[in-house]
């Protein structure tokens, strides 16, 4: 019996021992191979070299970058470099010679060789050249000028492959805050691109023609000397304006640039191509934009110098200066239009510029010791010297 008990205990002991071995072997952590990311080995010391960040994939760009690049590739070939020369007299040698007198930008308007730029870029030029994106240069002819809008139209004979017209926005409403892209040749650095936003619209700025240009676009896209005449584009690459001037005390970009709106350009350019000059609506009187006589006499308003026969002004009964035995006698002095006060020539021009042919306006004039109000029907002016 004792032997039987011993055998029973021994078998049970062996069984319990085997069970403990199985449990111990199962619960004990397994040895991890070197380099296993789940290893419980101690973390590397702080002095170990951290892994390098992977670079972006080739060609990775944000959407705004891709848009700007696409607009430049599309429109740069339509942007040109405009250079003018003038004749200078050498008083020592007694000779005349042509010298470079200024440069600016421009853009191809159509596939017939029409190039549009600013009036002040070609003002007083003896000759004008146009350089395309591939650096080919051609002589250009001035077709017509509109100083009061600072617009000039040129004609150049060049290979058809170079005449890539700019895309002109039609009926698009320009809004403050939208993207603005300027391409031009600032300081002679050809095909320079700058970006920004439309800062304001409807600005009235004094132009090169001595009167204010209405509805100008203000932008913070960097515009510098040499950008004049270049295109201002939207994010779809369409022309929304022509870069014209900057507001800066230093003469360089201060984040305030102005562009002639595309609506004005689209109206003026076809008129110049058709007749050689811009169509202007007015009352048909002769007046001095510099107002020398008004300043001499200390008068506010616009003195009517002369009234051509058959003009709308003559039909309405307006009077100009007359000669007497004592000298020159004043006729009518315009002091108001449609109830708005006219103090300067610019006031009269700006008011008339908002009208169309056959519109009727009411003029208030000083005549002798009193005031007279006359109704006058506007017409297309026969001469750019009239208003």
Those residues with Cβ within 8 angstroms of residue 372's Cβ, 6 or more apart along the chain or in another chain: 332, 364, 365
143 & 226 share domain = no
146 & 242 share domain = no
268 & 344 share domain = no
Domain membership of residue 197 (yes or no) is: yes
Give me the residue label for tokens 């009239």: 386
**Is pLDDT at 354 greater than 70 in this prediction?**
yes
184 & 235 share domain = yes
**Is pLDDT at 13 greater than 50 in this prediction?**
no
Q: What CATH number did the domain enclosing 96 receive?
A: 2.40.10.10
Task: Give backbone dihedrals phi and psi of 157, rounded to 5 degrees, phi first.
Answer: -100, 110
User: How far is 169 from 172, CA to CA, in rounded Å?
Assistant: 6
pLDDT at 184: 95
Domain membership of residue 66 (yes or no) is: no
Mean pLDDT of the chain: 85
Quote the domain boundaries for residue 150: 73-162
The overall pTM is greater than 0.85: no
**Is pLDDT at 25 greater than 70 in this prediction?**
no
Q: What pLDDT digit, counting tens, does each position of 57-72 carry?
A: 777 789 999 999 999 9
Domain membership of residue 20 (yes or no) is: no
Q: What is the 3-state secondary structure (H, E, C) of the chain?
A: CHHHHHHHHHHHHHHHHHHHHHHHHHHCCCCCCCCCCCCCCCCCCCCCCCCCCCCCCCCCCCHHHHHHHHHHHHHHHHEEEEEEEEEEEECCCCEEEEEEEEEEEEEECCCCCEEEECHHHHCCCCEEEEECCCCCEEEEEEEEEEHHHCEEEEEECCCHHHCCCCEECCCCCCCCCCEEEEEECHHHCCCEEEEEEEEEEEEEEECCCCCEEEEEEEECCCCCCCCCCCEEECCCCEEEEEEEEECCCCCCCCCCEEEEEHHHHHHHHHHHHHHCCCCCEECCCECCCCCHHHHHHCCCCEECCECCCCCHHHHHCCCCCEEECCEEECCCEEEEECCEECCCHHHHHHHHCCCCCCCEEEEEEEECCEEEEEEEECEECCCCCEC
Q: How many structural domains is the chain composed of?
A: 3
Query: Is 364 in contact with 333 (CB distance < 8 Å)?
Result: no
137 & 177 share domain = no
User: How far is 160 from 157, CA to CA, in rounded Å?
Assistant: 9
Lowest average pLDDT, out of 34-48, 128-142, 332-346, 359-373, goes to 34-48
pLDDT at 190: 87
pLDDT at 177: 97
Rg (CA), the chain: 39
Query: What is the rounded average pLDDT of the residues 255-274?
Result: 95
370 & 289 share domain = yes
**Is pLDDT at 281 greater than 80 in this prediction?**
yes
184 & 257 share domain = yes
What is the set of active-site residues?
120, 150, 228
190 & 289 share domain = no
Domain membership of residue 371 (yes or no) is: yes
Question: How many Cα neighbours within 13 Å face the side chain of 302?
Answer: 26
Domain boundary at 223, 244, 275, which?
A: 275
Lowest average pLDDT, out of 28-32, 117-121, 255-259, goes to 28-32
148 & 177 share domain = no
245 & 292 share domain = no
Q: What pLDDT digit, counting tens, does each position of 116-165 carry?
A: 999 999 998 989 999 999 999 999 999 999 999 999 999 999 999 999 99
The DSSP bridge partners found for residue 105 are 81
Q: What CATH number did the domain enclosing 304 receive?
A: 2.30.42.10
313 & 266 share domain = no
Q: What pLDDT digit, counting tens, does each position of 291-312 carry?
A: 999 999 999 999 999 999 999 9
Domain membership of residue 60 (yes or no) is: no
**Is pLDDT at 322 greater than 70 in this prediction?**
yes
Q: What pLDDT digit, counting tens, does each position of 169-226 carry?
A: 987 789 999 999 999 999 889 899 999 999 999 999 988 888 889 899 999 999 998 9
How sure is the predictor about 362, in pLDDT bands with cuts at 50, 70 and 90? very high
Q: Which two tokens stand for residue 132?
A: 């395309």
Query: What is the rounded average pLDDT of the residues 309-320?
Result: 93
Percent of the chain residues past pLDDT 70, beyond the cut? 83
171 & 248 share domain = yes
How sure is the predictor about 95, in pLDDT bands with cuts at 50, 70 and 90? low
Domain membership of residue 53 (yes or no) is: no
Domain membership of residue 67 (yes or no) is: no
How sure is the predictor about 87, in pLDDT bands with cuts at 50, 70 and 90? confident
CA 61 to chain centre: 26
pLDDT at 305: 96
Handedness of CA 221, 227, 233, 237 (dihedral sign): negative
Please indicate whether residue 12 or residue 284 has the higher confidence score (pLDDT): 284
How sure is the predictor about 229, in pLDDT bands with cuts at 50, 70 and 90? very high
Domain boundary at 275, 298, 328, which?
A: 275
Domain membership of residue 11 (yes or no) is: no
Those residues with Cβ within 8 angstroms of residue 186's Cβ, 6 or more apart along the chain or in another chain: 192, 222, 223, 224, 225, 226, 227
Domain boundary at 142, 162, 182, which?
A: 162
Burial of 315 (0-12, 13-18, 19+ CB in 10 A): middle
pLDDT at 150: 95
Q: Are strands 281-282 and 238-246 parallel, antiparallel or unpaired?
A: unpaired
How sure is the predictor about 12, in pLDDT bands with cuts at 50, 70 and 90? very low
Lowest average pLDDT, out of 7-21, 234-248, 347-361, goes to 7-21
Please indicate whether residue 303 or residue 4 has the higher confidence score (pLDDT): 303
User: How far is 30 from 381, CA to CA, in rounded Å?
Assistant: 101
Query: Is 222 in contact with 194 (CB distance < 8 Å)?
Result: yes
Q: Which of 149, 151, 152 is nearest to 140 (CA)?
A: 152
How sure is the predictor about 15, in pLDDT bands with cuts at 50, 70 and 90? very low
């Amino acid at each position: 019996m004792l032997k039987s008990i011993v055998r029973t205990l021994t078998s049970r002991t062996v069984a319990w021992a085997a069970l403990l071995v199985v449990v111990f072997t199962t619960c004990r952590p397994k040895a991890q191979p070197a380099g296993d990311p789940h290893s419980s080995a101690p973390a590397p010391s702080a002095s170990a070299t951290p892994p390098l960040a992977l670079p972006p994939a080739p060609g990775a760009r944000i959407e705004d970058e891709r848009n700007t690049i696409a607009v430049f590739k599309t429109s740069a070939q339509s942007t040109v470099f405009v250079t003018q020369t003038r004749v200078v007299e050498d008083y020592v040698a007694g000779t005349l010679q042509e010298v470079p007198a200024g440069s600016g930008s421009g853009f191809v308007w159509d596939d017939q060789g029409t190039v549009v730029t600013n009036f002040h870029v070609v003002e007083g030029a003896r000759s004008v050249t146009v350089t395309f994106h591939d650096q080919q240069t051609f002589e250009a002819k001035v077709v017509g000028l509109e100083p009061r809008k600072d617009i000039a139209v040129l004609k150049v004979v060049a290979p058809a492959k170079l005449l890539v017209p700019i895309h002109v926005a039609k009926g698009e409403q320009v809004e403050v805050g939208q993207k603005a892209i300027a391409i031009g040749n600032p300081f002679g650095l050809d095909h320079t691109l700058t970006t920004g936003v439309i800062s304001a619209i409807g600005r009235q700025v004094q132009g090169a023609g001595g009167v204010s240009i209405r509805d100008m676009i203000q932008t913070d896209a960097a515009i510098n000397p040499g950008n004049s005449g270049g295109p201002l584009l939207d994010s779809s690459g369409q022309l929304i304006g022509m870069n014209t001037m900057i507001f800066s005390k230093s003469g360089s970009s201060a984040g305030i640039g102005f562009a002639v709106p595309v609506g004005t350009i689209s109206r003026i350019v076809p008129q110049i191509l058709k007749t050689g000059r811009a169509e202007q609506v007015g009352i048909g009187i002769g007046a001095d934009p510099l107002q020398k006589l008004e300043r001499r006499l200390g008068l506010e308003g616009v003195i009517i110098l002369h009234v051509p026969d058959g003009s709308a002004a003559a039909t309405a009964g307006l009077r100009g200066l007359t000669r007497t035995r004592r000298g020159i006698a004043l006729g009518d002095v315009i002091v108001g239009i449609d109830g708005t006060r006219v103090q300067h020539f610019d006031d009269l021009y700006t008011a008339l510029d908002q009208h169309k042919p056959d519109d009727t306006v009411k003029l208030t004039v000083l005549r002798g010791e009193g005031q007279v109000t006359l109704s006058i029907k506007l017409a297309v002016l026969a001469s750019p010297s009239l208003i």
